[in-house]
Amino acid sequence: MTLRVASALDLAKGVRSFELVRPDGAALPAFTPGSHVSVQTPSGAWRKYSLCNDPAERHHYVIAVKNEIGSQGGSRSMHEKLRVGDTLSVSEPANAFALVAKARAYIFIAGGIGITPILSMIRSFGELPPAPWKLHYLSRDPESTAFLDVLSHPALRPYVVVHHSSGDPAKSYDLWPALEKPNGAHVYCCGPRRLMEAVRDMTGHWSPANVHFESFTEGGGTKPDDRPFTVKLARSAKEFEIPVGKSILSVVREHGCHANWSCESGTCGTCRTGLLEGQADHRDMVLLPEEMESQIMICVSRAKSERLVIDL
């Protein structure tokens, strides 16, 4: 779709929201809480952004963009080049972080800009939430905390805990009391990888079906010790080199091979693939320890061995 920027608003230090509408004012495709859209930024790069408005609002989409220091230019170009009245190419909404209906309760954990999909979920509840809920919103300081005014509204205040660490590890927030006892609630966590890994570790005794993660670091990011490796597709006997900076998924798709995928960040489980030979470097948020010898998430994980054989 081609959408027009109807308004832009600075929400916090380094965070700006953009309201996107159809140029003719027509209704936009429906979306569900937790959805995202892919946007072609002014730099030309495509980036995924969560929709943070109420899904009942069909006249606009609202996204919030953090100006990432050291980014390749996508978020920076949104801040520096995008103006009200400009148009953008935008995908229809997709959802790899769907809100489970009829849950017993909801525990939301957001870190920084990870508040965006969770805010859409909270807004979808309206005045009568379908179940008890609590938000734990972690950020560095008030100045960099997006939507602080919205979440400080008297109607929401009893359900929201906002914690500022000031960048001091000694002031980190203790999530264990909220996660110690599985109680049938569904946990939704979106934020920096460090936060998601901590939540994953603290919910190891929960049912995996009740713990959900969202990340927009496609391919899982690059690590200093990454190196190329080879992947063989068992069904076709095709072999490909996976270079540093590219995922198994992206390479096999480039060569016309079919693979299921959705989030591209190792959080939804759609690209789960059988691992037949080799040792994987698992970087997903989905697999259980007992599954790691026989399964791999090809959107993020790499290899510790020189070669992997996967069931594709």
Ordered domains of the chain (ranges, CATH) = 2-89 (2.40.30.10), 106-214 (3.40.50.80), 219-310 (3.10.20.30)
pLDDT tens track, the chain, 312 positions: 999 999 999 999 999 999 999 999 999 999 999 999 999 999 999 999 999 999 999 999 999 999 987 666 789 999 999 999 999 999 999 999 999 999 999 999 999 999 999 999 999 999 899 999 999 999 999 999 999 999 999 999 999 999 999 888 888 999 999 999 999 999 999 999 899 999 999 999 999 999 999 987 776 778 899 999 999 999 999 999 999 999 999 999 999 999 998 888 899 889 999 999 999 999 999 998 899 999 999 999 999 999 999 999
Output the six-digit token pair for 302: 């790499």
Spatial separation of the C-alpha atoms in residues 263 and 218, rounded to whole Å: 8
Spatial separation of the C-alpha atoms in residues 163 and 67, rounded to whole Å: 21
252, 276, 306 from 311: Cα distances, Å: 12, 7, 17
Spatial separation of the C-alpha atoms in residues 59 and 78, rounded to whole Å: 22
- How many other CB atoms are there within 10 angstroms of residue 258's CB atom? 8
- How many other CB atoms are there within 10 angstroms of residue 174's CB atom? 10
Q: What is the structure's pLDDT at 168?
A: 83
Picking from 47, 35, 122, 124, the residue whose alpha carbon sits closest to that of residue 79 is: 47
Beta carbons of 255 and 240 less than 8 angstroms apart: yes
User: What is the secondary structure of 8-57 as a DSSP string?
Assistant: EEEEETTEEEEEEE-TT-PPPPP--TT-EEEEE-TTS-EEEEE--S-TT-
Q: What is the DSSP letter of 142?
A: G
Spatial separation of the C-alpha atoms in residues 243 and 254, rounded to whole Å: 13
Q: What is the structure's pLDDT at 71?
A: 64
Helix (H, G, I), strand (E, B) or coil at 306: coil
Output the six-digit token pair for 213: 């993660």
Q: Give φ, ψ of 58 to 5 degrees.
A: -95, -5
Q: What is the structure's pLDDT at 50?
A: 97
Q: What is the structure's pLDDT at 70?
A: 65
Q: What is the structure's pLDDT at 196?
A: 94
